[in-house]
Amino acid sequence: MKKVIGSAIAILAAGKGTRLKSKRAKVLHEIGGKPLLQHVIDAALTNTPPERIFVVVGHQAEEVERAVRHTGVHFIRQTEQLGTGHAVQCLQEAVGAHKDLLVLSGDAPLIRPETMERLREFHHAQQAAMTILTARPANAFGYGRVLRVSAGSPEVAAIVEQKSLTGEQHRINEINSGIYMFRTEALYRHIDALRPNNAQGEYYLTDMAELLRNAGERVVALETEDATEVLGANTIAEMMHLDAEMRMAAARHLMAMGVTIYRPETCVIDGDVSVGADTIIEPFVQLLGKTQVGEDCRIRSYSVIQNSTLGNGVLVRNSCVLEQASVCDGALIGPYAHLRPESHIGRGAHVGNFVETKKTRLGDGSKANHLAYLGDSNIGPGCNIGAGVITCNYDGTHKHLTQIGEGVFVGSNSTLVAPVALEDGCYVAAASCVTENVPQGALALGRARQVIKPGWAERRAKMQKAKGVRKRTPSAATERTS
Ligand code: UD1
Ligand code: CA
């Protein structure tokens, strides 16, 4: 789509969000893995450069600006939140010189760039001073209603807020989305005529419809095809409804690309996630952030994968947690594995039950199948890391590296005290405490020698009998009362 020159976008995001009953500003609440405002900015940025996007901030302005500053948009402060009309008044100096102004609401995050373009085109075709994007949702309660001049006419006489509806007006099901196009010159020529003479004592931007029409300007409405797109988020429940809509849309998009998602309504999938064809996602899986999953994978139930990259043919068994991990083709993860940031799992490698990795590279075909902690380690290909192996990477002050070469066998329950290196093809005997480097092909034994005391059990039993010690056997009765 072509870049729009000559028009600006305003995003209203200064309000407190009183109806949320939250300490955090409304536009910072997250749905679909991103703050509400970030969704609106992302949609705006699709066709408009950040220099032409102006965000009105006020309540918790610093926090709001910090959250979205990276996008490069401008911020305009509305120090007192006197209403949506007042918010647009605050923008006059910044946007007055642009030909048109598209006004978006920071709390209507599902708006699509295509719809903004349609609104823009309609506005120009209608040669209007104000064009209102409208919708007919199943439940219009709470929204401002649009009074058309007559049924079927594009022209609008006024917008009436929920609290000001009278008699028959309650039956109007066409709502104001809070998204508008204005001819800036007409908007600012008349905006000072707004008066806060309403239920909330605020300057309503919606009053511009009647004001402009009374001044002889053309005010029209364009109805969206899909009412969900303009739904607002004024309460936590409304927000969670939008969150579900958004996640479901992401799931539907993936399914259209050949991904099988069982019970998609139970999965949480962020909009930026990509998944290859023929991958199967089981119920209750979460794929978050910028996660990328290849083809022919299977992600079993209850796994949560965040900002991670999986190759093709990867099997993630039940209840794994992956954060900023990368997993190569054909690897097998879990169940109950925890891959923490900077874990790199090689081709065909196995990370099994209750294994935790962090800043660790596990080479191609290497296996750590049970109960291990591998942190700050670099493990070559074809290694076998036994059950219960632990890299002791932390000395209380600093983190140290464990280097393991190719084809190394680390026996179960060994502790590798870093910094330490195990060279290619060496063996570590089970239950060793390894504090020194192990040379290539060597066997390291680092454990106390076993002592055998023949007949000890019988001697003990005799001693206890002499002292009158009786063996206690638990029973259902004692278990229940203790
Ligand atoms: C508004 C519209 C209503 C419409 C609905 C759609 C008005 C008077 N009403 O109502 O007709 O159906 O949106 O969702 O405009 N804001 C500021 N500064 C302020 C007040 C609000 O920046 O002084 C921002 C808010 O942060 C929010 C947006 O403007 O992002 C809309 O404000 P909100 O109070 O949510 O308006 P609604 O009551 O939903
Ligand atoms: Ca709102």
Token pair 């996630």 is at which residue?
273
pLDDT at 196 over 80: yes
| Residue 158: per-residue pLDDT | 97
In a domain, 482, yes or no: no
Assess whether pLDDT exceeds 90 at residue 74.
yes
CA distances to 141, 265, 370, 432 from 260, rounded to whole Å, are 37, 13, 30, 46
Q: What residue owns the CA closest to ligand 1's atom 34?
A: 15
288 has pLDDT over 80: yes
Query: Is 265 in the same domain as 151?
Result: no
pLDDT score recorded for residue 479: 66
Q: Provide the pLDDT for residue 2.
A: 43
Whole-number Å distance between alpha carbons of 105 and 107? 5
> What is the number of the ligand 1 atom nearest to the C-alpha of 56?
22
303 and 273 inside one domain = yes
Query: Tokens representing 418?
Result: 């870093």
In a domain, 39, yes or no: yes
Ligand lying closest to the C-alpha of residue 198: 1
Q: Residue 4: pLDDT above 50?
A: no
Distance from C-alpha of 374 to C-alpha of 354, rounded to nearest angstrom: 11
Distance of CA 180 to the CA centre of its chain: 28
439, 420 contact by CB (below 8 A): no
In a domain, 474, yes or no: no
Position 464 in a domain = no
Q: Give the residue from 230, 257, 275 where a domain finishes.
A: 230
Q: Are residues 240 and 223 in the same domain?
A: no
Q: In the prediction, which pLDDT does 476 show?
A: 74
Best of 65, 78, 105, 169 for a ligand 1 pocket test (most atoms within 8 Å of beta carbon) = 105
Residue 480: per-residue pLDDT: 62
312 and 246 assigned to the same domain: yes
The answer to the question of residue 478 being in a domain is no
Q: Using pLDDT thresholds of 50, 70 and 90, give the confidence band for residue 294.
A: very high
Q: Is the dihedral of CA 424, 429, 430, 435 positive or negative?
A: negative
81 and 179 co-located in one domain: yes
Residue 344: domain span: 236-444
Count of the separate structural domains present in the chain: 2
> What value does the mean pLDDT take over residues 92-117?
95
Ordered alpha helix ranges (H), 215-314: 236-256
Segment 151-165 shows an average pLDDT of 95
- What is the per-residue pLDDT for 481? 58
Check pocket membership of 83 for ligand 1, CB cut-off 6 A. yes
The whole-number average pLDDT for the span 189-217 is 96
- The SS3 of residue 374 is strand
For residue 196, say if its preceding peptide bond is cis, omega within 30 degrees of 0: no
Whether 82 lines ligand 1, by a CB cut-off of 6 Å, is yes
36-45 helix and 113-126 helix, angle to the nearest 10 degrees: 60
Residue 370 among the catalytic residues: yes
